[in-house]
Structure formats: structure tokens, C-alpha cells
Chain A
């Protein structure tokens, strides 16, 4: 009985090849895929179906929380000491 295949690793010498491969793999229906590169290759993450909406929401909500926190420090004349 042969060992079950858990994962396949492929190495590309050229970023453009990685991009093409990413698109093909996604088109074939694979979803648990990740691409590693030493610098950002634009389009690979999108080709693999990622989006960074989580980052945006986290940043926006942190910003709102920080802003509200800042207002808490503003002087309040009605507060008795």
C-alpha cells in the first residue's frame, strides 16, 4: 500500500511561472494552496482566491476604538474630582 499524499511542493525559478501555476491550480479546483515568495508577486494571492478584507476591517475597527479611547482623555468639565 503506497503512502497517501498529504501535499505537493513545487518550486519555480521565475515569479511569472508561479503566477501562471497559481491560476491553473485554482482553476483545477484546489483551494488549500499557498504560494511562498521572497518578495510580493502581485496577483498570486488573488489568483489563489485570497482577499485582505480582514486586514481592512481590523484596521478600521482598531482605528475607531483608538479614536474613542482618545476622546476619553479629553477634558470633561462635568466630571467632579
Chain B
């Protein structure tokens, strides 16, 4: 069976048995004393910023979105920049959980749970912005084509409507995928939990999972199907987000390059965020045996590859605006580089073009401090990319009479910082109540790594119940 191929040992370090993996992963949830001061600090800061966002949203609902810096030429401001930024960050989770699963990449096992949670929370942050941006969030259901007496249906030719479907599908599939993967681990927590209340909660969520062979078979079949559904979503969601720009007729937006370049940028930003979280968390919870330097090295390589695609996109934009011979396109590039937002463009080139080149060096890829700093540059760079695209094009369109300038207000900053807080709050809340590493997949990975070359039906073993107990015995086999 292909399941028993010899894998690289670096994916799990240290002397681990099924029992130690199980205990280590479950311990973070079951032993609430395992959470130290860094957890409390991150959670509290996240919670405070979340409250700040609550205040901003309250004021926004009372006054209208005019409290943001958006104005008449620049109708999209930080809200849409943040929306695209967050949605992009979510993509790494889906890539890790779906595409790497279909490609049978075993290094996804220790990071997929974590990354999928990150996807969900990033989508939760992203979804807030277009919702509030509509101006009347209480009418948001008008965006769906439901039968109504107003004889009103959304315009199916608008990419903004495609976006509604892309994002809602993405959020739904990601949530279902995440929950399905959690079921066996919830059952493990149910079996190990001493507290009757938590036992009940985990038991209800595990939905009667017993780990029977027939369960596993159905589980794997469903999981692969969901991975098949999610895989096109990795590509389609950010393509559709890019259509929000590319379908419009504005110089700097009306570019066929946008879909692939946005998707690459999304994966790039997503891996930066996975690393930003994984590097400290693996140290705080001593998960270095599971999220090894090899994982970090490979994630850094994915970042380098996608970063190069993004940088190539910037070069293409420059080349095509010149090659088009179109006065508006040429001037748009000139405004980006040397216009009032020139500082943002050159910062963007520094963050997304120059800084990631350091990832060519293995020493930097495995230097956690350097890598963490590079990830911050990447996150900033990806934010600036959306800033340059949105702001420069909107404030410099065809007619000089409608040119303008965009200045963010404290409410823009409050919303952005608030979603960062929401993300941190949800992420650290998740670390405390659910297993951050996919428990059963790690055990399966160990089984495959320790493969002793048994082949289906080839080795005859004495059929006798082994009651003596093995070091590899998990205690969950009954």
C-alpha cells in the first residue's frame, strides 16, 4: 500500500509514540495550566482591540461610512484594501488543507488545523468590510437573489455579486472542511477529558465518532471530496476578488494579469501569516517536535516562490503599461511611481520585491528571527499592494476634473487594528479550546514514518489478541 512509503524523518522529531503525540496535542486543551503569559497577553490585547472595533462599528452604524476616509473619487479606501488583504491571508489555509492533501504532501499534517483556523478567522475579518462598506449593512441580504416583492434581483453581470457568492462559498466550505477534520480529534478529547461538562461538549461536537474502520472509510472519502471542492476555491476566490478590479474600466485595474497575480499574492501573504503565528506558538507550546525546522523551511520556500510570481507581476504591470502605448495606462504607472503615493509604490517594491530575496539563503530560512521579520515585511507589502492598486487608480482616473486624494481617518485605522485584534482574539481562543495540531493525522504520519515494510497480506502474523500492551499502543483502541 502506498500508505507505507518511507517518509523523511524530519517531519516528527524526538522519540514519539502514538501515546506521546496524543498526550502532547490534547494536553494544550485539557490542561488549562499549559497556557502561559504570552497567551494571556495576546488574548487580552486582541480582546481590547476587538472592543475598539466594536466602538468604531457602533459609531459607523450611527453616522454612516463617511466617518472613514472614503470620498467621491476614492470610493474604496482602507475598507476594501483590508478586505482583499484578509481574504488573501486566508488562502494559505485552504492551500495547505486541500491542495497539499491532494498532492499527498505529508508536511501539511502538523500545520493544517492551525492554517485552516487562520483561514476561517481571516475570512471573518474580511467579510466585515464589504458588509459595512455597503452603507446600509442592515440591507445586506439584498445582495442575495432571493424571491421578493420588490421585483429586485442583483445584477449577475457585476463582479461584486460574484464576490458575494465566492466569499460565502469559501467561508462555508472552509468551515465544513475544518469541522470535519476536527471530528476525530474532538472524539479523542471526549475520551480523555476528566471534566464532565467538557466531556459532554466534546462528545456532542464529535457526533458519535467511535473511530470504527467504516467511520474512517467514510471520513476519508468525504474529506477527499471536500478537498476536491476546496481546491478550485483556492484559485477562484481570489480570482473573483481580482475581477472586482479587472472587470472595471479603470487604468491600472483593467488588467488580465490580475487573477493569477492576486492568487499568488494571496498564498504569499497567507504563508507569511502562518509563519508569523507558527514561529512564536511552536515555541510557547513546545511544539518544535511537530512543527519542525523542515516545515518552516518549506513554508519559507513557498513564500519565496509565490513572492517571485508577485514581483514578476509588478514587472509585467510596468512593462505592459508602457507597451500598451495607451496614454492613460502609461500615466497611471507614472502616477504610481512618482505621483503623490510614490512612497507606497517604492515601499511595496522593497517589501515584496527586494526583502523576500533573502529567502534564497537556507541560513535565513531557518533563522527564526530573520524569517519572522521578513514575514512582517511581506504582510506590509501585500497591504501596500492593495493600497497602491486601489488608491492610485481611483484618485487618478480618466478625467483630471475628478482627481482627488485619499486620507485615512482614525476610524479607518480603528477598523484595521480592530480586525487584527479580532483575528488574534479568535486565534488564541482557538488555541485554548481546540487541538491546534491535527492529532490523528500526526499519529497516522508516525505510523507511516515507522513503516516496517509490511505489505497487505504478505506477512503472516499470529492472530492472537495482544493484551500485553505496546509502547505504540494508544489506549484508545478497545
Contact = CB atoms under 8 A, between A and B. Distances in A.
Interface string A34-62: 11111111111110101110111001000
Contacts of B144: 73
A10 interface: yes
A14 B454 CA distance: 11
Contact of A81 (B149, B214, B476): B149
Interface residues of A, number: 41
B218 A11 contact: no
Contact of A44 (B213, B459, B460): B213
Given A11-B477, A81-B149, A36 B460 contact: no
Contacts of B470: 13-14
Contacts of A16: 452, 454, 459, 461
Contacts of B147: 73
Given A43-B456, A45-B213, A75 B153 contact: yes
Contact of A14 (B184, B464, B472): B472
Contacts of A36: 210-213, 476-478
Given A20-B460, A36-B477, A41 B466 contact: no
A81 B147 CA distance: 9
B441 A39 contact: yes
Given A13-B466, A20-B463, A37 B217 contact: no
Interface string B167-186: 00000000000000000100
Interface residues of B, number: 53
Nearest to B452: A16
A8 to B, nearest CB: 8
A38 B217 contact: no
Given A11-B477, A38-B18, A50-B213, A20 B461 contact: yes
A17 B444 CA distance: 15
Interface stretch (B90-98, B219-227, B340-348, B407-415): B219-227
A8 B268 CA distance: 54
A8 B454 CA distance: 26
A19 to B, nearest CB: 7
A71 to B, nearest CB: 11
Interface of B: 1, 3, 18, 22, 144-147, 149, 151, 153, 156, 184, 188, 210-214, 216-222, 225, 440-441, 443-444, 447, 452, 454, 456-457, 459-461, 463-470, 472-474, 476-478
Given A39-B443, A75-B145, 11 more contacts: A14-B472, A15-B447, A16-B461, A17-B466, A38-B22, A43-B1, A44-B213, A45-B217, A50-B214, A59-B225, A73-B145
